[in-house]
A and B are shown apart, each in its own frame.
Chain A
Amino acid sequence: QVQLQESGPGLVKPSQTLSLSCNISGDSINSGRFYWSWLRQSAGGGLEWLGRIYATGSTHYNPSLKTPVTISVGTSQNQFSLRLNSVTAADTAVYYCASESRGLQLFLYWGQGILVTVSS
Chain B
Amino acid sequence: DIQMTQSPSSLSASVGDRVTINCRASQNIYKYLTWYQQKPGKAPEVLMYDASTLQSRVPSRFSGSGSGTEFTLTISSLQPEDFATYYCQQSYSIPWTFGLGTKVEVK
Give chain A's interface residues, CB within 8 Å of chain B. Answer: 44-49, 60-64, 96, 98, 104-108, 110-113
Contact = CB atoms under 8 A, between A and B. Distances in A.
Contact of A104 (B36, B42, B43, B49): B49
A111 B98 contact: no
Interface in B39-66: 42-46, 49-50
Determine the interface band of chain B, counting residues with CB < 8 A from chain A: 20 to 34
A16 to B, nearest CB: 25
Interface stretch (B11-19, B20-28, B72-80, B88-96): B88-96
Interface of B: 1, 32, 34, 36, 42-46, 49-50, 85, 87, 89, 91, 94-98, 100-101
Contacts of A49: 95-98
A64 B10 CA distance: 27
A107 B44 contact: yes
Contacts of B87: 47
A113 B43 contact: yes
A64 B91 contact: no
A49 B90 CA distance: 11
B77 to A, nearest CB: 25
A117 B44 CA distance: 21
B96 A110 contact: no
Contacts of B85: 45
A79 B35 CA distance: 27
29 contacts: A44-B100, A45-B85, A45-B100, A46-B100, A46-B101, A47-B44, A47-B87, A49-B95, A49-B96, A49-B97, A49-B98, A61-B95, A63-B95, A98-B43, A104-B49, A104-B50, A105-B32, A105-B91, A105-B96, A106-B34, A106-B49, A106-B89, A107-B44, A108-B46, A110-B44, A110-B45, A111-B43, A112-B42, A113-B43
